[in-house]
Amino acid sequence: MLELQGLTRCFGAVTAVDAVTLTVPAGQMVGVIGRSGAGKSTLLRMINRLTDPSSGRILHRGRDITALRGPALRRWRTGCAMIFQQFNLAPRLDVLTNVLVGRVNHVPAWRALTRLWPEADRAIALSALAQFDMAQLAAQRAGSLSGGQQQRVAIARALVQEPQVILADEPVASLDPRNAALVMGALAAINRDFGITVLVNIHSLDLARAYCERLVGLDAGRLVFDGPAAALTEAAARRLYGLEAAEAVGAEAPSRIPVPA
């Protein structure tokens, strides 16, 4: 269980996240929604400790994450993988090596530096790629793949970290609708198959509704909605998104690409 207690982050006069209290049971897939600037990225970055809270606490399985330092903090970051909008792959390296980077804290440093990855780790990385039908791309340069494929490589890299939590910060913002659905399907599959807790920041309300069992809405840093996707009425969504409603709430719901078994 992940618990946020009065989590707050100020940047000068701006309160990006304002006293957010939230409990996420292990294995849940949560969509974090809200208009641009609502505080979604800051919230996720605090959970990973890329951004330090101004006040409040983060607990995971009862352990105070806010207090972690040094090696314990590095271990938490391995167990709490981040996925970013721009994939953050090494474009000149092949796909398999990019996925193996996720094993870096599971192998001795010299092996990672010399790229002499143990056979067992190569097998883990290949099987993660196979999970998303991408094993045949293992030898290709990551930079030569489409955006949707690159994001699925990033998800495979996160998966081989063996995390308990995955934080995805606008993972589909630069993708076309079909690839966005494939990437959301990949996140839903690892949530379902491995019981990994997923928190995903997502601008498109339609995608959030299609893939996330629970939605959490932020407005000016404050938690203003928390409930199942079905409980978010159109009127509530329009209040949450304000002038961006037309962009966030598409005319048609996206077709949900089935999650591979």
Ligand X SMILES: Nc1ncnc2c1ncn2[C@@H]1O[C@H](COP(=O)(O)OP(=O)(O)OP(=O)(O)O)[C@@H](O)[C@H]1O
> Could you list the residues that contact ligand X (CB under 6 A)?
11, 14, 16, 34, 36-42
Cβ 24 vs Cβ 30: under 8 Å: yes
Q: Where are the beta strands (DSSP E) in the chain?
A: 2-11, 14-24, 29-33, 55-60, 63-64, 80-84, 165-169, 197-201, 214-219, 222-228
Cβ 137 vs Cβ 167: under 8 Å: no
The residue (of 16 and 126) whose beta carbon lies closer to ligand X is 16
Could you tell me the smallest distance in angstroms from the CB atom of residue 41 to ligand X? Answer: 3
221: three-class secondary structure by DSSP: coil
The residue (of 14 and 67) whose beta carbon lies closer to ligand X is 14
The residue (of 39 and 53) whose beta carbon lies closer to ligand X is 39
Could you tell me the smallest distance in angstroms from the CB atom of residue 199 to ligand X? Answer: 12
Cβ 99 vs Cβ 156: under 8 Å: yes
Could you tell me the smallest distance in angstroms from the CB atom of residue 18 to ligand X? Answer: 10
What is the rounded end-to-end Cα distance, in angstroms, of the chain?
A: 26
The residue (of 111 and 222) whose beta carbon lies closer to ligand X is 222
Could you tell me the smallest distance in angstroms from the CB atom of residue 17 to ligand X? Answer: 7
The residue (of 16 and 100) whose beta carbon lies closer to ligand X is 16
The residue (of 34 and 102) whose beta carbon lies closer to ligand X is 34
Could you tell me the smallest distance in angstroms from the CB atom of residue 51 to ligand X? Answer: 7
Strands 14-24 and 2-11: antiparallel
Strands 55-60 and 29-33: unpaired
Could you tell me the smallest distance in angstroms from the CB atom of residue 45 to ligand X? Answer: 8
Query: Is residue 201 within a helix (H) or strand (E), and if so which, with residue range?
Result: strand 197-201
